[in-house]
A and B are shown apart, each in its own frame.
Chain A
């Protein structure tokens, strides 16, 4: 492999690869979002993308190396958990291109990093949640207890409080290990307890665990808010909206750029302004989103765009002022 001298990929030997993280590409959430972008790319260009789903912690680096060795010209890592692996492998394969989502702190000439302003999107759905709640109590279920998820929570609280300063926001985290991304039973448990305490809208940022959140909310006749992908269709009539984190865009863009030779390294930050985060409105939740909710959310959106509202980023100071 060391002998290989691939420069910028010519279309013929262009070989993209993606490494999904634990939870798998059908987690109905984060990884699935990436998969959607990958599918779109394949459909448009006809180029097959090599895929691998990590199922345990030790596989990440090996999978990445294996992709590089099997001739991949660009490798996309999904999630911050792959940061260390990609840093090592990118250094060992300087003539290959790498890209990673949710990581913004690495530095390599052949590595592109995507960071999202989840707090902005969460703010938007927080506004919707506060308006849709009849009890003035809303919930948040996070996956693994890490700053990134606190960032979601904080933006959400900000949105809720901007509408109703006295509303209660119940918050729970699922766990401290990566298995917290894939524990729907616990997600359902936590949601039930929040609902029993009066919450009637529950937002999740918990990957596969969120399936349980949506299920529990639907079972109880309450509302859930999806995350990452558009989850409105998972339980139509029970999902108020979804906080879209356009990881599909990141995936699609990465491969598109690499294929056309316009791949660049560095950190890309995607917020509301860049179309990287948004809220979902479609036929599945049309009946839930009243005109007043819609206008309030759109107003919040334009306020963020105009800079009138600056949503606090938890990760900037690990504090949440709301």
Chain B
């Protein structure tokens, strides 16, 4: 019983760690999609920045420089996306797809050229990574029943970027719904001509949105390779960008519901990891593959309008073309 409780608490703890890149990417997607730009390139940006961050950290020994590198590269990809979708009014889905495929290829190609380790970066040691921050009294708290366990296992012992991710939700909520920039951002995703005729710049706003998305994806990628993991390996984003996209849709393009969706999806993943190959009394061996598919499945069900209704920003995916 006690072990079961501990298991549960630990799964929640793992949920936070697993959900961190999802949260960051979902917030990134929120900025981009609220401004009317579909962003399926979350995956590629995250992958590319994971690579850049790990390379930078390996070469300089500093995780902070790694973070800077990760963000920089991710923003660069965002700018490509913006150039294609905003400046040249290209198809946003195609552009995103191109970036994802490009990132898959480029990371390995550059990785081999830089480190000659089959596309991986060298193993990062502790000083080259963001390591866990143990909060004060965590050890002592262990002896306090329930709350102590929660404090020690769930709240304490996360690295900086986990906190950054949670904080990003608050910031996103504030910026998008409580500032004038957010008002314009949402307006430009709903009805760009309204912003244009009100004297705002549609392109400017959309570029700002994709750049913010780039920064957040950059942090997510950095988390993967230099905080949660210890180095880059090929395809390390492993579909997390798409799960984040699903979470964003599931959260109906709102920060807190999107956060909850990320946590739910993260929980499924954490749970699935723990159940892999484990015989459960009565039920037997659960197929974890089927647990892992739940996020996608639920999103399809949601989109089909069977549970609530998710209506995207009205002008999403439509380039703003004034003169034909």
- Which residue numbers of A lie inside 8 Å of B, CB to CB? 24-28, 53, 55, 142, 145, 171-176, 179, 182-186, 188-190, 192-193, 196-197, 208, 211-212, 215, 218-219, 234-235
Contact = CB atoms under 8 A, between A and B. Distances in A.
B289 interface: yes
Given A24-B118, A53-B118, A175-B276, A188 B228 contact: yes
B130 to A, nearest CB: 11
Contacts of B63: none
Contact of B230 (A173, A184, A192): A184
Given A184-B233, A189-B18, A172 B118 contact: no
A125 B230 CA distance: 25
Contacts of B117: 24, 26
Given A196-B13, A197-B6, A197-B10, A24 B236 contact: no
Among A28, A173, A196, A211, which residue has the most Cβ atoms of chain B within 10 A?
A: A196
- List 4 A-B pairs, minimum CB-CB distance, nearest first: A24-B118, A173-B277, A26-B117, A215-B230
A235 B276 CA distance: 27
Interface string B172-209: 00000000000000000000000000000000000000
Contacts of A173: 276-277
30 contacts: A27-B118, A28-B123, A53-B118, A142-B277, A171-B277, A172-B273, A172-B274, A172-B276, A172-B277, A173-B277, A175-B288, A176-B276, A176-B288, A182-B233, A182-B234, A184-B229, A184-B230, A189-B18, A189-B270, A189-B273, A190-B273, A192-B14, A192-B17, A193-B273, A193-B274, A196-B6, A197-B3, A211-B230, A212-B229, A218-B126
Contacts of B276: 145, 172-176
B168 interface: no
A193 B14 contact: yes
Given A26-B117, A171-B277, A184-B230, A189 B14 contact: yes
B153 A196 contact: yes
A148 B126 CA distance: 32
Contacts, number: 84
Contacts of B274: 172, 190, 193
B133 interface: no
B251 interface: no
B224 A185 contact: yes
A70 B277 CA distance: 42
Contacts of A174: 273, 276
Nearest to A184: B229
Interface in B23-78: none
B131 interface: yes
B255 interface: no
Contact of A189 (B17, B118, B131, B277): B17
Contacts of B146: none
A174 B277 CA distance: 8
Contacts of B7: 197
Contacts of A208: 233
A218 B230 CA distance: 11
A172 B271 CA distance: 12
B278 interface: yes
Given A26-B117, A176-B276, 5 more contacts: A24-B117, A145-B276, A182-B234, A188-B228, A196-B6
A287 B275 CA distance: 35
B120 interface: yes
A134 to B, nearest CB: 16
A185 B236 contact: yes
Contact of B118 (A25, A193, A212): A25
Contacts of A215: 123, 229-230
B241 interface: no
A179 B236 CA distance: 10
A207 to B, nearest CB: 11
B273 A219 contact: no
Contact of B228 (A145, A182, A185, A197): A185
A24 to B, nearest CB: 3
A183 B18 CA distance: 13
B313 interface: no
A234 B125 CA distance: 9
B178 to A, nearest CB: 35
Contacts of A176: 276, 288-289
